[in-house]
Structure 1
Amino acid sequence: MNDTASFGYRDVDAAEKQGMVRAVFSNVASKYDLMNDAMSGGAHRLWKDQFVNRVKPRKDEQILDMAGGTGDIAFRMHRHGARVTVSDINPEMLAVGVERAKKKGYEGLIWSEQNAEELTFGDRAFDAYTIAFGIRNVTHIDQALREAHRVLKYGGRFFCLEFSTTTWPGFADVYDVYSHRLVPKLGKLFANDEDSYRYLIESIRRFPPMPKFEGMIREAGFVNTKVEPILGGLVAIHSGWKI
């Protein structure tokens, strides 16, 4: 049986998904942050602030920010004095982040093109691993979680910010209509790319619900796992520890 993976609402050959996702983010890289504002009404900035507050980055600790492309999470942690390695599978996204860092005057960040499923870093290299709005695009999520566990030091912490499925009655229906009908149109308006943003919305719908994803984090070896829903689970902060 062929190994398949979800690409939006389609199931595709797992070997093809990585290239397909890479093409999506190559297309949207230059407009990615503008579109985040448009899609969330700017709320993604508050969610990221809350996320980094939960991570509690400390001065001089080593943090890997995976799928960190444009630098939004890394910049926040860098301001706390953490030594951040920003990794992404997509070089176009990394290029946007490097340019943004130059404009902001942020020095000392490390930028590294990496596949979350096959990191080139050694065992127990980082104090914390963060990934925001990126893990749903990984072909084999379980493998990415095992790699996160591998590269963390004992006592290291894992934090993931990701869209999920809101449990609030009424709001779920409103958001469903908004995301499926309006977001692709916003993609067409702002980035001249309706298909890429349709995929981004569909990928959210195919992502495991909060309890199942928490179980996957535990299966990767993490303990003391926790889920913090935002807006009833529209977005969730997942965490766990390596001991």
Structure 2
Amino acid sequence: MIADFYIPKNDLLQKYMTGYYFMAKHRDSEPTKYLTFPNNWSIHSVKEDSDVEYRNDTLHIKPSAEKKINSRLVFNYNVPLEISYEELVNEVTVVFKPLGIHYFIPNLNFSEMENGEFWPKGNYADFMRSVFAETNREKQREMIEDYWISQFADPDLGVICTILNDVESPMKIEEIAHKNHITRRYLNKLFQKYIGKSSSEYRKICRFRKALQDYKKARNLTELTYINSYHDQSHFIKDFKALTKINPATFFKNVDTDQETIWLFK
């Protein structure tokens, strides 16, 4: 594992964050890369003195001679994303649960944004520079958690929260729209604004992620297909290959689904 992953100590942050991780640069580090597969999180990464370039579904990261803070937000990708480091850099990445980031930055509209450069409020670059300068990991954790607690805004997201829970249920999208007295078109407009993808894309990824969690519980792929509400195994394989680019049998042979950080695969 190239990064140290932490669940927030603070109960409030635990409601909205999956966790955060730190990576530290090493003078003798070798090129490193891993794949991360589609998810419904908002992933905020901050890197010190580095250049980041996105091309061909790969994030290329390398140290930069220029003294700067690189701050990015990724909230939507539907194919495997390769993270490639020319060498390791100092990095802090915060992983927000679906809707989670909106409780701290309430005016975000993902439908008007793309994955890329992202700056939270305040003199954020200087703050993150101070985090990287701190050598004590527990103090770093305290600084990160204190910052995000200070940004908590608690907006009223009741309607989209209800719709999100409904989309994670077996209900049909048309039924969810009818239940919430909106059109399917408006439902998807809300999803694009708050999640950055359509409700059907969100559901496909949600089902895929649940299949990863349920893999060890199922006796075989056929059982895994039906406990995750796929119509049949061909439907399961089709969706799985669309999100991973490989078939389920090969995927599960090569991926440890017992990892605590199931979203990160080397």
Global fold match (TM > 0.5): no
Structure 1 or 2, whichever has the larger Rg, is 2
Q: Which structure: greater helix fraction?
A: 1
TM range (shorter): under 0.3
Give the TM-score, by structure 2 length.
0.25
